[in-house]
Amino acid sequence: MQEITTDLVTGLYREHRADLDRARHEQRRVRRDDTAMRAQLDDIEAEITYLLLRHARPETVIEIGSFHGWSTTWILRALRDNDRGRLHSFDLLDEVRRHVPAELAAGRWNFTQGDARGVDRDLIRRADHLFLDADHGRRFARWYVAHLLPEVRAGIAVSVHDVFHGWRAKPFSEGSVVLRWLDEHGIPFFTAARRKAPDVQRRLIALKDELGLGEPVRVSRTNPMIFFRMA
């Protein structure tokens, strides 16, 4: 599978422009109709998640940390538009059950309430995409780089939220742990974070405007997520 780069992402924006436009309208409607939902992902990182899933056409997606379901609904829309795949979400709280539309969940979503450290290793080994947005402390990150990532197959995309709120990850944070692990394993990452990669973000904003996708779904431009492929 192709390395995640700006060129890949811009190509996917063009390829899936119409479906992404529909997904954006639907997500905007979710925010309008479900005022209790707290949207966690910024637009660009949510759209990149959607586009990478459209590109890979995964059978099994694992989401660790669903909260109110903003990322969950984005992922489920990608699986729906692919007409294949199942999402397995894990969270300590079951708040997400109140927010994911039934028509999106039916036949493509499993939710497990509990500690992600109990996730079935066979499921991890089958995963085609891993989405991490849970505890952002270094203790949890140390656990998953030692026990979770080594079980993940080579080539699949992994995304980790809340890494780059500044030009570097905060010391003693999840981000600092995962970035060190990536460096030790020689694995490159992609980000559109405003402070870490301002040129990338400007390029994507200009492309979205060109494609008629400039109107915000959620007003924010931090986009602190990183994306990488397992080696």
- What is the reported pTM? 0.96
What is the secondary structure of 159-198 as a DSSP string? EESS--SSSSPPTTBHHHHHHHHHHHTT--EEE--TTT-H
State the chain's mean pLDDT as an integer: 95
Q: Are strands 157-160 and 226-229 parallel, antiparallel or unpaired?
A: antiparallel
How far, in Å, CA of 99 to CA of 101, rounded? 6
More confident residue, 180 or 37: 180
Taking the domains of the chain in order of start, what are their residue ranges? 6-229
From the options 3.40.50.150, 3.40.50.970, 3.30.930.10, 2.60.40.10, give the CATH code of 6-229.
3.40.50.150
**Residues 188-205 pLDDT 10s:** 999 999 999 999 999 999
**Residues 76-91 pLDDT 10s:** 999 999 999 999 999 9
